[in-house]
Amino acid sequence: MQPMDKLPLDLAWQSDGHVTDVVLTAMADGEEAIVPEEALGHVEACEHCTFRLGSEALLSVQVDGEMAALAAPAPAKAIVPARKAPKVAIGVAIAVAGIGAAPAFMLDVAPRAPEFFKTIIWAASMLAQSAVVVSRSELFTALVWASALVLVLAGLLMSRAKVSNHSLQEGGV
């Protein structure tokens, strides 16, 4: 090999008298042919540089392994079948909860049932009276168009929203 095929001395030696990482990397990669003879002799004789060469060699092996892993095709993901809901267990849990809540319902809610139904009837009558007042209003047509516009805008916004299929399947937004 010609002297021009070797690393220049400024790339081979550090200012402290040891070889550079360039020399160690070349040696770790099996490229001793480009390393000057003096640098090869120094690495063999210097314990510090020999230790550094070992570290570089381990790094080179690790990089080779990582590159091979990147080049290998990714393994196919296993398809896990969806589990069915435990309907019987859910049914039993609801029945037990209902039986447990029955005494509290009988003691607390049942005596107030007439008051509860009276409130529901009052709210329904107020809603019906409000509907009658609004329908007789001069602004009824405008209210119908405004509500239709609000529904159309809500539909547009929902159709434009970027929602992933995953969140739709999970029931989230």
Q: What is the pLDDT at residue 19? A: 93
Bigger pLDDT: 89 vs 173: 89
Q: Where are the domains of the chain?
A: 3-71, 136-173
Q: Which tokens in the block code for residue 88?
A: 């019987």
- For the entire predicted model, the pTM comes to 0.39
Tens of pLDDT along 18-54? 999 999 988 988 888 999 999 999 999 999 999 998 8
Q: What is the pLDDT at residue 4? A: 66
The radius of gyration of the chain's CA atoms, rounded to the nearest angstrom, is: 40
Question: Which one-letter amino acid corresponds to residue 170?
Answer: E
Tens of pLDDT along 86-123? 888 889 999 999 898 888 878 877 788 888 889 999 99
What whole-number distance in Å separates Cα of residue 100 and Cα of residue 161?
A: 43
